[in-house]
Every structure is written in C-alpha cells, then in structure tokens.
Amino acid sequence: MFHIPTKIFTGEPKDFSGEFACPGARRAFIVTGKSSAANGSLLDVKGLLEANGTEVFVFDATEENPSVENVAAAARLAAEARAELFVGIGGGSPLDAVKAVMLLAANAEKNFCDADAVRMLYDPAPLCKRLPVWAVPTTAGTGSETTPFAILTLHGKQTKQSMPHLVCMEKAFLCERYTASMPRRIASGTAADALAHLAEGYLSSRAGPLTDAMAEGGIASFSQSMDALANNALDAEHRSRLLSVSALAGMVITHTKTSLPHQMSYALTYNKKIPHGEACGLLLAEFMRFHANKKRTGRILNLLGLSDLDELKKYLRGILHTRLDLSREETAAYSAAAAANPERLRAHPYPVTEKDIAGIYERSMS
C-alpha cells in the first residue's frame, strides 16, 4: 500500500493564501526555532494565518534534536492557548517537535509532567485525539513534512528514538526562499540526509516498485545539484530542487523506513554532537559497500554520475565538515546500541550482526 495524505504546495505561500484558512480552528500554535524570524517564514505564515482570522501563538524555543522535555513545555503552552491548529516552521527539529506537541496538547491531562509526556509519546497505545498539523520546512533534507515520523531525544535513555505514533502533516508549504539563509554546513548536511533517505529506501527490504521509482528519480535529481553543493553555489533553482528531493525522499522512507546509517547515526548525534544529516552522510558509503545488492548500489552510483564508492565517500567528505573519530570503546558501545533494536535492522534485507555494524563505523573513519 502506498499512501501520502499531505497536500504539498510549492512556491510562495502567499500565492496559496486561501490555504491558510483552517475551518473550525480559531487559534493556531506555531512551533519553530530562532532562524525562522530571520528568513521571513515566521512573519509570512503568521500574517497569512491572521489574515484568515486565526489567532496565532508562537513557541520559538525548539531545540535541535528536540527532547521530550522541550516538546512537553511547548505542549503545555499550546494546551493553555487552546490551540486547534499546529504549524511547524523550520528544519526537521521543529517539524518533528510539532507532531509531538500536537499529540500531547490534544491528549494529555491538564498540568501533565515530563514523565507523563515520555509515557504518552512512547507508549504504543494509540493517542486518539488528533488536530491538524502543517509544515513549512526551512532546511532541505529531513523530509519530515512528508513522513509520519518524529524522532525525539530521550535523555533518560541517552539516545534519540522515533515515536511509535504516526502523525502526517495535513499540508506542507515548500518555499525555496526560506532555505536561502542556510549556512553552507547546514545546507550540505541536510542534503546528505535526503540522499541517505533515498539510498536507504532504495536498498531497503521494504522497497517496492513505487518507492524504487521515487528513489531513482530523487537520486537523479539530487545529482543535478551535487556540484552546486560542493561549490557553495546553491541558487533558487537548486534550492527548489533540493526541497522537492527532500519531500520525495520523505515519501520513500514513509514506506521503506530508514536503515543502518540512520540507526547508527543516533549515537553519533547524541554523544558526539554530530548533526543528523552529517552523521548519516558519513556512514552512507561504507553502508553501501557492506550491502550485498551490488546491482542496486551500482545503480545509485550510476544515477549520481560516480564511478565507485570511493568517489561517493570522497564527495560526501568534501561537502560535510565533520570527520568520524571514535575510540574502540565508543565503537563497541554504539554498535551494541544499534544492534539492540531488531525492528530497525529489519529494513536491511540480510541478517546484520553487531560486528558488521562495528565494521561500518570503523571503515567510515578511514
């Protein structure tokens, strides 16, 4: 089954001003970070909502890799404001956060505490009450606007973890102007995330004809912006393309889920503070070398216009500004953690051992 319920609007949000009316919702709650005030997205969205008669509340303290405590704080404010519509503006962090904020605000008892939030968000029992959630991405990579997933930081477990609850955005507004202010490092890291989603989806045990077509198209499209990414020369056309690639990649992983690089990245982000996209990008080439389906890994390289995996590794190292540097103890601990989640390993079409995972970490360092 293939299903994406999100209505996607590409271009200037003001050209779709009528879409900013949400029948029955008198109060909107925006979840964002600090950068949306500088790139114009917050002002535009707030103005369009208000022009349609909606009262707007703003929470602009979303953390990078948002924690449950952070989304719980936002949700308490949203509940107090009696919000009926939720809008995430920003990178994957505010877009993931807004999904959790909506779930808590709609379902939690008054004055719930952080421990209640952890229990609610990570207990698989359904959270039945739902309110509409919209997305305005300002990075191009996570695809959170088209996935039902939200990954939060669980300090209690010292890692990041996807919520079992699925929340699809009702609408997503993709405007390249909002991504123009991304510094080079964020643009490259988030683009590497989109490529990882496409490649992991294409190499997944859950891949099917529709996700294959989308992944192949997305990778071919990504290849047209590779030089611009490497040369820090992303113009409006490239930015617009990368936003579409990111949304497409989100649709792919909605159906295939992500695979080893993502599972292995969480320890790198939590413990080594490596941004999400960079962590996945650093592991991608060696994951592909480990993958037994050489026809598919070869096809990815072909679509990227690269001759071999060394070339991909070199390209990704060139655009990413981090190196992987793990001690033996760190490699062992992170491999054990990644291997401890059999559900996540199911995206890989063959059995994977802790030793295999350690090998991918080790070779990604060399």
Q: Which residues bind ligand NAP (CB under 6 A)?
A: 33-36, 39, 62, 64-65, 90-93, 96, 138-139, 141-144, 147, 149-151, 160, 178-179, 181-182, 186, 190, 193, 276-277
Shortest distance, CB of residue 90 to ligand NAP, whole angstroms? 5
Q: Hey, which residues between 192 and 251 contact Zn ion (CB under 5 A)?
A: 193
Nearest CA to 45 out of 88, 104, 78 is that of 88
Nearest CA to 68 out of 1, 179, 159 is that of 159
How far is residue 84 from each of residues 30, 56, 183, measured CA to CA in Å?
11, 10, 34
Residue 176 or 193: the one with the smaller Cβ distance to Zn ion is 193
Shortest distance, CB of residue 178 to ligand NAP, whole angstroms? 6
CA distance 239 to 229: 10
Residue 6 or 142: the one with the smaller Cβ distance to ligand NAP is 142
Angle between helices 209-223 and 184-202 (to 10 degrees): 150
Shortest distance, CB of residue 153 to ligand NAP, whole angstroms? 8
Counting every residue written for the chain, the total comes to 366
Binding mask 177-196 for Zn ion (x = CB under 5 A): ----------------x---
* 263 contact choice in Zn ion, ligand NAP, none (CB below 5 to 8 Å, kind-dependent): none
Number of residues that bind Zn ion (CB under 5 A): 1
171-174 and 7-10: which strand pairing?
Answer: parallel
Do residues 31 and 104 lie in contact, with contact meaning Cβ atoms separated by under 8 Å?
Answer: no
Residue 160 or 313: the one with the smaller Cβ distance to Zn ion is 160
Nearest CA to 248 out of 65, 6, 19, 11 is that of 6
Residue carrying structure tokens 């305005």: 136
* 39 contact choice in Zn ion, ligand NAP, none (CB below 5 to 8 Å, kind-dependent): ligand NAP
Shortest distance, CB of residue 197 to Zn ion, whole angstroms? 6
- Residues β-bridged to residue 133: 86
* 13 contact choice in ligand NAP, Zn ion, none (CB below 5 to 8 Å, kind-dependent): none
Residue 139 or 256: the one with the smaller Cβ distance to ligand NAP is 139
E strands, the chain, in order:
7-10, 27-32, 55-59, 85-90, 133-137, 151-154, 159-162, 171-174
Burial of 292 (0-12, 13-18, 19+ CB in 10 A): exposed
* Distance between start and end Cα atoms, the chain: 40
Shortest distance, CB of residue 307 to ligand NAP, whole angstroms? 29
* 151 contact choice in Zn ion, ligand NAP, none (CB below 5 to 8 Å, kind-dependent): ligand NAP
Shortest distance, CB of residue 71 to ligand NAP, whole angstroms? 11
* 149 contact choice in Zn ion, ligand NAP, none (CB below 5 to 8 Å, kind-dependent): ligand NAP
Query: Using CB under 5 A as the criterion, which residues of the chain lie in contact with Zn ion when the complex forms?
Result: 193
